[in-house]
Structure 1
Amino acid sequence: MDEGSGSGFALSREEHRDVKNKSPPRAAVLHEVVRHTGEEELKRSFASLAWSSLAAGLTMGFSFLARGALQSQLAGVSAGHLIDSLGYTFGFLAVITARQQLFTENTLTAVLPLMTQPGWSSLVRLLRLWSVVLVGNLLGVSVFAFGLLHLRQFDARTGHAFLDIGRELMRNTPFEMFSKGVLAGWIIAMMVWMLAASEHSRLAIIVICTYLIAIGGFTHIIVGSAEAMYLVFAHEISFATAVLHFGLPTLLGNVVGGSLIFGLISHAQVRSDSNEEAGSSPESADSKATPKNSAIPRN
């Protein structure tokens, strides 16, 4: 038995079922998946957040390490930057698959609950999460950078590669740190959204999105802090320069890109779709068709 599909083709019930099963999830579904994740993170205890964020910071240092190690081996190779940038993705892969707390992920996941139910209590919960995770991440990458410099596990050529990566970062002006940070925060938020929609391509999504950050030279507050703190510990820049020239502009850019641009637009899209569906529902149509003061015949 065939059924009309409304497109000029006759489909069976089984084929209609296949269409529904293969259709991508609605934006509202993705919104709720990400929001639910944010709610779970907001409920975590201080100790749980602190240890998880510290572990994430230590792990993110491997993005810096892997990129520097590859860069030292590819010196003089044409398009070597495109290859060593693959190392940048390693820390993200480890942190995200291990479900550790990464600040730039939380610029989307933890913000959607606040956008859904605005209020002072929601804002306080968000600021608590952000502060604990950011401090834990920054402490972790700082410890990693200190160990990377002083444990001397690599040869001089690799050490110079680490310095070159940090120097390249610090060539950006504060405004470039901010503007590139906006794009990095935006990309991370898109990655979180895509991960919610995908079941079988998670690794590819993480690699592609973070690889784009690396080859674009976009600034990420956590990985970039490992690079900047390496220069601080090597006495190439002051701690104040790392904070004021890199840290604050990049942090603001990541938050703007992840929360105020992608998060706000995505939430507005879902809210608009929900309002349109509510306005076109049969109940709404019946209420519009029947005047409030009209007499309704009774049985």
Structure 2
Amino acid sequence: MASAKQHHSDQSSNQVTAETAPNHAPISEREVEDVEARSTPRTPVIYEIVRRLGEEEMARPVVSLWWSGLAAGLSISFSLLAQAVLQQHLEPTGWRPLVTSLGYSIGFLIVVLARQQLFTENTITVVLPVMANWSLGTLGRAARLWAVVLAANFAGTLFAAAFCSFTPAIEPDLKQQMLEISRHVIEHGWFVSVLKAIPAGFLIAAMVWLLPSAEGSQAWIIVVMTWLISAGGFLHIVAGSTEAFMLMWDGSASVTEVFGGFVAPVLIGNLIGGTALFALLTYAQVMKEME
């Protein structure tokens, strides 16, 4: 009887081993490659990708930065145009702003996927190499890039706004929709504009951080992040400048209101959100690992 029990126990043990052995077998090299391909990059890896991108951008010639920034300013103006087209064809309901805000993503899709220079993207890509290698030379290259790109972005949006205002390319009804959408950029006080610009700067920096690990979903990341900026009523220095310049060319806002009441506070808010908050927090979470 004991022998029979022992035999049964051995059979059960063998059966369990046979059933569980495959689960504990070492994975092949091919499977290791599959695991690595499917894994999300570690935070330090993403940090290094974004940092190197910033170094590449700072090393570009001024002429290249200018034309790329000018192209970005022209491209971002299609955000306002797309919003106006959607608003023109939708009934004035409570959910209409949620749909028209999708148009806000159009300009960002063009800019980001075409690798054009947008000022608010550089609030994280340029700051990371500066923090990693703090020196007057690195800081100077970052300041040069910021100044050139921001000026080029404004030149592009100023021209786009003039084109929409003074040429027959835009129908009068569509132009009125563009002006109606634009009014929100100057209706806030100075301090409120700063606060409304902080989330926009943070979201754009977060978008830049997410793109390296997004694989084939980059477009969705761009749409979701930028849609939230518009739907939430937040302020973006470059996209909003198209709206501010439209109001300026129309006579609805003075130059002082545009630059003193919109550009100055929104620039500060975007820098706080993208640099002082997101970039610094990003660096803080990886600085020990990068050592």
Normalising by structure 2, we get a TM-score of 0.88
In the other structure, the counterpart of 1:10 is 24
Matches within 5 A, 1:36-115: 36-115=52-131
Aligned to 1:247: 263
Farther off after superposition, 202-211 or 163-172: 163-172
In 2, Cα distance between equivalents of 1:163 and 1:17: 53
CA deviations on 1:13-53 (whole Å, 9 max, x unpaired) are 23565444432111110001001111110010011111110
Q: Which amino acid aligns with 1:93?
A: L
The aligned counterpart of 1:194 is 210
Identity of aligned residues (%): 41
Letter of the 1:70 partner, please give it: L
> Which residue pairs with 1:270 in the alignment?
286
2:237 maps to amino acid? I
Question: How many angstroms apart in 1 are the aligned matches of 2:125 and 2:25?
Answer: 39
Q: Which has the greater radius of gyration?
A: 2
Q: Distance in 2 between matches of 1:246 and 1:144?
A: 18
1:143-158 equivalence runs, <5 A: 143-158=159-174
Report the Cα distance in structure 1 between the residues aligned to 2:62 and 2:290, rounded to whole angstroms.
35
Q: Which runs of no fewer than 5 residues in structure 1 stay unpaired?
A: 1-8, 276-299
Q: Which residues in structure 2 correspond to 1:231-242 (within 5 Å)? A: 231-242=247-258
Cα offsets for 1:153-182 (capped at 9, x unmatched): 333332221111121222222122111111
Residue of structure 2 equivalent to 1:178: 194
With over 3 angstroms needed to count, the CA separation of the structure-2 counterparts of 1:111 and 1:201, relative to structure 1, is same
Q: Secondary structure at the match of 2:215?
A: coil
Q: Deviation per CA, 1:43-79, whole angstroms, max 9, x where unpaired? A: 1001111111011101111111111121122142441
Task: Give the whole-Å Cα distance in 1 for the aligned partners of 2:37 and 2:180.
Answer: 50
Q: Quick one: which amino acid aligns to residue 27 of structure 2? A: R
Please provide the CA RMSD for this pair.
1.5
| TM superposition shift of 1:11 | 5.5
Q: Indicate if the aligned counterparts of 2:186 and 2:257 stay in contact, CA closer than 8 A.
A: no
Cα separation, 2, equivalents of 1:244 and 1:17? 55
**Alpha-carbon separation, structure 2, partners of 1:227 and 1:138:** 11
1:164 has 2:197 as partner = no
